Structure 1
Amino acid sequence: MSETENLSLAAIEALSFDALRRAGASEPQARPLARDTAVTEAMGVASHGLAYIPIYAEHLRCGKVLGEAVPSVETPRPAAVVVSAGNGFAHAAIDAGLPLAMDAARSQGIAVLSIRESYNCGVLGVHALRIAQSGLVGLCFTNAPASIAPSGGATPVVGTNPIALGAPDGAGGASLLIDQSASAIAKSEVMKHAREGKPIPEGWALDAEGKPTTDPNVGLKGSMAPAGGYKGVGLGLIVETFAAALSGAVLGKDASPFSGPVGGPPATGQCFVLIDPDATSGGEFAGRMAALTQAITAQPGARLPGVNRQSAMERAEQNGVDVSAAILERVRAI
């Protein structure tokens, strides 16, 4: 067996959809997640793509995710959309609320979509890109089970808590796509190293006493290292405020883990702030963003956030994606 197998994006979506359905997800729950799994693979973020399907399947079977959940949507204010995911997949809840939030942002200038009783939403930048592709600016937050200890402490209080920004380019793409977490590295990367029996670089995780470790299993029992020290903790708290407190979702410190079958639904949350740039910029948004991004791309060797992912997507649409044969074996076994 070769180490990788090339699949088209349509084949990745179909394989993901079939596995999720067989594991107990309804069609409305499985379809958005399968679609975004293919997008994630296209972006080159393999750690959050097909590799996660066996985890999703396990969680469907043990009840950590409810495969027949139906999101409920409310619009308590003209520019506020509130969705309960019903402890189903976050992707179905986002699909239920995002079109309404987009319409509200266009009519009101700004809108907010909050989601509670949710779950891991995958790569947050996938959703930020979707908002940017609609011509809106998207500021996105999602909280996660606690894995980062506060400065000076050793007990995790907030999760890796990603934040993402998608800014439209006026041509159906993103002029700027930023997706980063409050931790020095995504926790899934530490989990991936643990599965593969590989050490992690120092600076990724801490042991139970708050000391650096290169053993991924020790790090998973301790805490993730915050990005930029205390600044990463602050970023995690900002995300917790938006994704949990403003959404009425469970705080990361009280949520069950996204990995393993223990603990029931995590019931975490997401928050998306959508802004119509025409409402606030006086027609200057596109020009300002072009000047900003050109100041970066004009420098030899300088990298603009999000460019690599968007370029990878273009290549994947033409050439497909090389997927680990070991991961494909696990998904097909479902």
Structure 2
Amino acid sequence: MTTLSPGDAVRRFAAIFAGEGCSGENARSVARALVAAEADGLKGHGLSRIPTYLQMVRSGKIDGAAQPSATRPRPGVIAIDAAHGFAYPALDLAVAELPPLAAAQGIAAASIRRSSHCGETGLPCEALARQGLVALLFANTPGAMAPWGGRQPVFGTNPIAFAAPLQGREPVVVDLALSKVARGPVVAAKQRGETIPRGWALDAEGNATTDPDKALAGSMIPLGEAKGAALALMVEVLAACLTGANLAFEASSFLDGEGPPPATGQLLLALDPHAFGHAQFGERIAALVSAIEQQPGARLPGARRLANRARATREGIVIPPELEALAT
């Protein structure tokens, strides 16, 4: 198998996207996000997405040359139009614009519409946490999950992410889908010709299934059952209704090049810890982290991701066999 350093992988795959008509900046943004997800061990949002992304660009479902634009409807709000392009350049714009607004206002928000698959949602939050901010991201995705008690998907897997700075160490990052398992692992199982564990998904008739094809045609099971479905509703309001994006059941699939652009949405919030009337944030979060880590067997969310990232930096990233021809 081919093994590349993360930097070489970004350059190789950025060149592939540029060769398909993506602007250089967009190609680099997409490649950085996919390689970062692969390095972090989130393979469902990593290099496995490349064939589908290329289909979407070739069909015009994603405009690889789109340039996101921003307006300022209120002092603390940035409204970003991703212009039916990749989500990553729009998120890059949000991460660049939010810190000065959060410093001035205490809290700032970036809404993104006419967007697409945004991959590892923890990455933009982590980028803001590295600048001393607490960050949250909400994203809606194409219909994949029925309301609790129903069979027809109304919500996406609707991921949420959170990050906060820690003095002298990597930020703490939470990144999760509101289904028991994100759709990425189901897609990966389908590509490998494998079954999925029972309890991940239901088929179109509402029956438990281990067949990834039937799972993708049916409904993912919510994390926490009825509670997860309620959280998915919350994310749908924040990421679609508030931003002016397509609702999950209106959005075309992230998994093929068919149909119109998905036009989904994201909402990214940035909070300045210094803006809340005290100077104890660093001490308070350090005490919280200590209370967690002093317990045998306990760890902070994201610890495995950081270990995977460090390993990828040392040993490189293994290019899946089906992508080796693209990477050479």
- TMscore range, shorter length: over 0.9
Question: Of 83, 90, 95, which residue of structure 2 is paired with 1:93?
Answer: 90
Question: Of 3, 6, 30, which residue of structure 1 is paired with 2:3?
Answer: 6
Unaligned runs of 5+ in 2: none
Moved over 6 A (4+): none
Residues 127 and 97 of structure 1, relative CA distance in 2, 3 Å threshold? closer
Question: Of 190, 196, 221, which residue of structure 1 is paired with 2:186?
Answer: 190
1:327 maps to a residue whose letter is L
- How far apart, in 2, do the equivalents of 1:97 and 1:208 lie? 37
State the match for 1:302 in structure 2: 298
Matched, 1:139 2:136: yes
Deviation of 1:283 after TM superposition, in Å, equals 1.3
Deviation of 1:281 after TM superposition, in Å, equals 5.8
1:47-126 matched pairs, under 5 angstroms: 47-126=44-123
1:194 maps to a residue whose letter is K
State the match for 1:241 in structure 2: 237
1:260 maps to a residue whose letter is D
Q: Is the deviation greater in 207-216 or in 251-260?
A: 207-216
- How far apart, in 1, do the equivalents of 2:274 and 2:58 lie? 46
> Could you state the TM-score of these two structures normalised by the residue count of structure 1?
0.94
State the match for 1:215 in structure 2: 211
Question: Of 205, 227, 230, which residue of structure 2 is paired with 1:231?
Answer: 227
2:232 maps to a residue whose letter is G
SS in 2 for 1:178: strand
Unaligned runs of 5+ in 1: none
Matched, 1:156 2:153: yes
8 Å CA contact 2:72–2:78 kept in 1: the answer is yes
8 Å CA contact 2:157–2:182 kept in 1: the answer is yes
How many correspondences in the alignment?
328
Question: Of 260, 281, 285, which residue of structure 2 is paired with 1:285?
Answer: 281
CA RMSD for the aligned pairs?
Answer: 1.4
Deviation of 1:132 after TM superposition, in Å, equals 1.0
SS in 2 for 1:29: helix
Q: Report sequence identity in percent.
A: 41
Question: Of 34, 38, 54, which residue of structure 2 is paired with 1:37?
Answer: 34
Matched, 1:21 2:18: yes
* Cα deviation 1:112-158 (Å, max 9, x = unaligned): 00000001011101111111111100010110001100111100000
SS in 1 for 2:111: strand
- How far apart, in 1, do the equivalents of 2:51 and 2:232 lie? 28
Deviation of 1:168 after TM superposition, in Å, equals 0.7
- How far apart, in 2, do the equivalents of 1:133 and 1:318 lie? 22
Deviation of 1:267 after TM superposition, in Å, equals 0.3
> Could you state the TM-score of these two structures normalised by the residue count of structure 2?
0.96
SS in 1 for 2:2: strand
SS in 2 for 1:173: strand
8 Å CA contact 1:117–1:267 kept in 2: the answer is yes
* Cα deviation 1:200-220 (Å, max 9, x = unaligned): 101111011212111111111
2:117 maps to a residue whose letter is N
State the match for 1:179 in structure 2: 175
* Cα deviation 1:59-102 (Å, max 9, x = unaligned): 00001101121111101111100100000011111122322111
